Structure 1
Amino acid sequence: MFTLRSLLDRTSLELRVLVPGRPGALDAPVAWVHNTELPDPSHYVREGEIVLTNGLWLERVPAAQFVTNVKKAKAGGIVFGLRAEMPDTPAALVEACREEELPLLEISVAVPLTAVSQAMADMLADERKQSLVGMVRRGDALATAISRGAGASGVLDILRREHDLPLAVVDRMARSLAVAGARLDGDQLHAVATALAKKPPALEVDLAELGPAALFPVGAVGDIDAALICLRPLRELTTPERQALEQTARFLSLEVAKQQAVQAIEMRFASELLEMVLSGGWRATEVPGRLRAFGVDPSGPLAVCAVAFSDGETATMHGLAEVIVEFFAVEGVPAVVAGGTQDVVAVLPWRHPEHELPLLGRRLARSIERRFPGLRPVVGLGGLAAHAAELRPQLLQSREACRVLRRTRTGPSVRAFAELGTHRLLLGLLDAETLNEFAGQILGPMKDHDARRSGELELTLRTFLEHDGQWAATAGALHIHVNTLRNRLAKIAELTGRDVGRTEDRVDLFLALTVEAMDRPQPG
């Protein structure tokens, strides 16, 4: 950084301070130097430049006017060059600079003004050289740290060797990946995640009592996944500090990409494990080995939980899986977590009483709520599997419980499959293909009739069963006459082959509608 003081330190220039200007003016950044003899150079001088002059304008304007014009351009000061015809700096110029608090330096007759320009050029070249050398050395150190597995914390340590700045790395899930000289609470972490979610990301984020902090995005695989946070406003950072922070953010992108690659591999292996469990047969023999790879004992009791959002939100499934992985890590529970299109499944060892499992589910739901404000997470639990060979029914049951909860906006957010009702217990034991075929055979003709004639037979049937077969209550709910209801139910009997007046036929219709509402997607 160039300053008037850095010029004064060059004794070869033989500079002398006549007016120091306002406090700190000699240490203020200097943009460049501008040699001029114009009476009014304000149209040409840039902000922060130093005006070099021999005073030839004194024949045209008074010194006070010249100083006013220079001050109007927001110049950093004046260097007055003495010459044989003017061996002393005019007193009027000194007085005018003192009144305007504009720095005034004097250069001896023996030194030409071009020497100041040359000195500035030399300092610029040296600064650029030092900046490039520093960048190369810093880059080597950062690359070495990442290649040796130092992680984000090791990267920050290298940066702080050069610049004593309070730093943190926060990802888009509001997780603190590393800190160095900084401490962020939960609200501040969420403020960073919110700033990262903006398009484009913010350059500064307000961290409440910590004040504004500079944000340097860390991208990986074409997206912004984290940020390097410096607990200083952008305006207070020097150019070298900003350059170092920007370079470090780029290297952190490598670290984040590496972590994402590892997570993607783990998630793929976890998804393959679920496919093995669901497939059964010879592939089931590989399940114990996969569980051991994730630190899960396949010979002990195993629990399965399926997690989703009640409003059907699926865009955040990848982030949901990350939060669940972190939750079990904090809980100290080894778990296999696999993300699908409709839910996220976790398989974990469970050596506690089965009735304590919902407590873990509720803690998990609260943890997810904090990360995804405004969304309602639901957790479906299967029964306990004595060992890996019994995982398949528990996996199906947990997913079924989760699907039921996902369709509700109120009520409990955590339920076990056994709590869903006897008919759901029975349905959960059958595969999706069999159930869909059963429902299609019964409801298909009625649904086709509704589609062709914009009818309301399906709605009528659902309402009738919801009102326990009470004719008057059903007609009132549908706002139709009882005779109209009678005609519709007769048509339903004709199309489905089931008479709502017979108990066994009504059960068939009820189960078919239940299967239809289950919305069973394919695994994964």
Structure 2
Amino acid sequence: MRLRALLDTDALGLKLLGGEEELDRTVRGVMTTDLRDPSRYLSGGELVLTGLAWRRGPADSESFVRILVQAGVAALAAGEAELGDVPDDLVLACARHRLPLFAVNESVAFATITEHVVRQVSGERAGDLAAVVDRHRRMMTSGPAGGGPDVVLDLLGSDLDLRAWLLSPAGRLIAGPKVAGPALPAGVCAKLAAEHLAAGRTGRRGPHRVALGGTTYSLFPIRSSGRSPQAARDVRETVLSEWLLAVEADAGDWPEERLDLLHGVTQLIAVERDRRDAARTVRRRLAQEVLELVQTGAPPAEIAARLRVAAPVLLPGLGAAPHWQVVVARVEWDDAPAGPGVPGAPGGPAGVPAEGPGGRRTGGTVDGGPVAQSLLEEILVDPLSTGPEPSDRIAVAHTGGEAIALVPLPAVSSEHDGSESGILADALLEAVRDPLSAGLDDDGRLTLGVSAAVHSAEGLRGALEEARHARRVAAARPGRVCAAGHQELASHVLLLPFVPDDVRRAFTARLLDPLKDYDRRHRAELIPTLEAFLDCDGSWTRCATRLHLHVNTLRYRVGRIEQLTGRDLSRLEDKLDFFLALRMS
């Protein structure tokens, strides 16, 4: 289609700001971006849509326009929703480079323009694509009851007889057809994601064909154009952030029209991906604010006030303030040199090697925070749940090359029963290790640390340090994807004086707070009973005599201690942990 045709469609809300003499240019595609340098995603002939988030000042317009012109784009359309009128410096830069410039009215969504262009460009090549796009447009405007990529995948099945599934890089099923047919097993999802990540690392263009169990799948990348300007340019990091469309068919013998059709569908899904990424902005900002307060030593009351703001956003309708859990992640590459102040480098915590498994250097100056942030938002969703909604309960910030997730947990009963709640490191690792190891290949690592749940602002700093320390424990292990949880910090070896004070406090609080709470409510004297029991080396008779109790009463109290903490006082390890916790409290 010609650029001139865009002005003939009133529904697009486009206003020409410059380049009238270039309106006979041909448009071959459309891309939405706020990257400062989107050249790697451009092949020429695109109409580029931007919300101008890349612009920090007038000087940025010249470099952005120059990059677009060098990539051979047809025109630029700038939205007015963020900054109001399109800045004069962008108008002048487009005029200097003879790049047609349109303004997009704030009432018009970029998705509307994208769908119009895709429909027009592809209509002559594939009539069935026009039907799919039109149905998708109607679906998107019909409200939340009919929206989502699931419906697009149903259309592929009903209109084109293609079964397709949308997967995360960790192999989680995001969307699939609701029409009759067997569901895609979790194991197959993980293998397809692994194959996609491994193929993506080679730099080969999709679709990638994979045969599993006698069935051939074609894998199409969903390249989100809505990454932040700081997003990684490196293909190693880019592939770790991509969704993929897995189609049950061999695309090797498809005509160009059919391939164009599927690429058009991936563009439509990318628009939905961008919308969902934008919805994460508020949660990311909340996490960043809480993290900054925690790290700067803000008063607990101020942190608690910010948590009260975050709770209804992350868990709408929740009556009571939730408990919180912290997860820390870091993505590192072999060619990122280690440096002072980086966990795992010289000067780090005692007992943690400066080199990874096999003597390989880790850590470094490359900021892997953004890709770790994107990964953490995906992998913290229950791998057995479909759809995007569960990720709305996860707030992830990134700082200093690491991503930090603030995960709310529904408030539990005040009676501790010693059971584990929330995210478990082993389960998390099991769900994502295989596919992500393929994406990290032989030069990258993902390490994860998981804290215990805390119920107050006072415990949040300790939880953060606990998760960071657990991540450093994971980093000392072999493997491309490693995780460690707070349970692994319970060993007395890690509670020697060189361990950070916050980690000690988190450890003692986890063991003794349930007992203190119970004593406060019931005046049961569990703490004095525990001290006496340990002092008597676990002798029931000696301890009962010292406390002037009947042995049965002592056994009841010790049983209550074990129930509240999930520990076993007949085990030497648990006795030692209690002994250290009491000495450090």
- Shorter-chain TM band: 0.3 to 0.5
User: Which has the larger Rg?
Assistant: 1
Larger proportion of helix: 1
Higher RCO, Cα 8 Å, sep 6+: 2
